[in-house]
Structure 1
Amino acid sequence: MKNSVMDLEQMQLAADRACRVMKVLANPDRLLILCQLSQGERRVGELEELLGIVQPTLSQQLTVLRDEELVSTRREGKNIHYALTSPKALAVMQVLYEQFCVCETE
């Protein structure tokens, strides 16, 4: 494994990018949406039904996720499908799942 030392400017830019992702994930509705999308593509109606998030709030949160380029959309007829497309966000979601959602059996 190669050791590389980041200069201060690179570290600041990386910290800024990480903070942006963490800020987006800090909202419970967006976190739930990404949790569902980490399992695969979903239609807006499916997300609404699965999560119990009402349409205006769901649309608002999906817009934030789209603006931050964490998700992408695909239209099929009248349906809009969302997919989690950010590898970094998916990696964070996997860690959060392991730390908070996996039940330990003893």
Structure 2
Amino acid sequence: MLATPDTPTSPPLDLAVLRQSADAACRLMKALSNPDRLLLLCQLSQGEKRVGELEELVGIAQPTLSQQLGVLRDEGLVSTRREGKSIYYCIDSPQALAVMGVLYAEFCAP
């Protein structure tokens, strides 16, 4: 929105804050740029899943699945919990969940 004499202007944006936000957004987008990780987050956006369920749902072999889940974990996008021998994953990033919602609406919704 352009400022006119009748509309107030917003205070200038803090460059340091913008740079920090841009860095965080770039890390998120980099994590989402891998098709396997995107598929995993798509499934996890529907709720918590066991590792075995994820393997079946996305068709990713165990070594690759573990590697990609590790990347998502390291980036703080997912968290885990253990129940007996099963490990469950869920999305742990409100930003990632919001982006997944937009991607679903734009690319997957009927």
TM-score (norm 1): 0.91
Q: Percent identity?
A: 69
Amino acid at match of 1:59: S
* CA shift for structure 1 position 30: 0.3
State whether structure 2 residue 79 is matched by structure 1 residue 72.
Answer: yes
Shift of 1:8: 1.2
Is 1:56 matched up with 2:66? no
Distance 2:51 2:40 in 1: 10
Unaligned runs of 5+ in 2: 1-9
Equivalent in the alignment of 2:39: 32
- Deviation track 1:21-76 (CA, whole Å, cap 9, x = no partner) reads 00000000000000000000000000001110000000000000000010000001
Alpha-carbon RMSD across the aligned residues, in angstroms, is: 1.0
- After TM superposition, the runs of 4+ consecutive aligned structure 1 residues lying more than 4 A away are none
Once the two structures are superposed, the pairs formed by residues 72-91 of structure 1 within 5 Å of their partners are 72-91=79-98
Secondary structure of 2:87's partner? strand
Q: Distance in 2 between matches of 1:98 and 1:76?
A: 33
DSSP-derived class of the 2:65 partner: helix
- Answering whether residue 21 of structure 2 is matched by residue 14 of structure 1, we say yes
Q: Which has the larger Rg? A: 2
TM-score, length of structure 2 as denominator length: 0.88
Given candidates 97, 102, 107, the residue that maps to 1:95 is 102
> 1:101 & 1:10 partners in 2: Cα distance?
33
The amino acid across from 1:82 in the alignment is Y
Report SS of the residue matched to 1:80: strand
> Gapped runs of 5+ residues in structure 1?
none
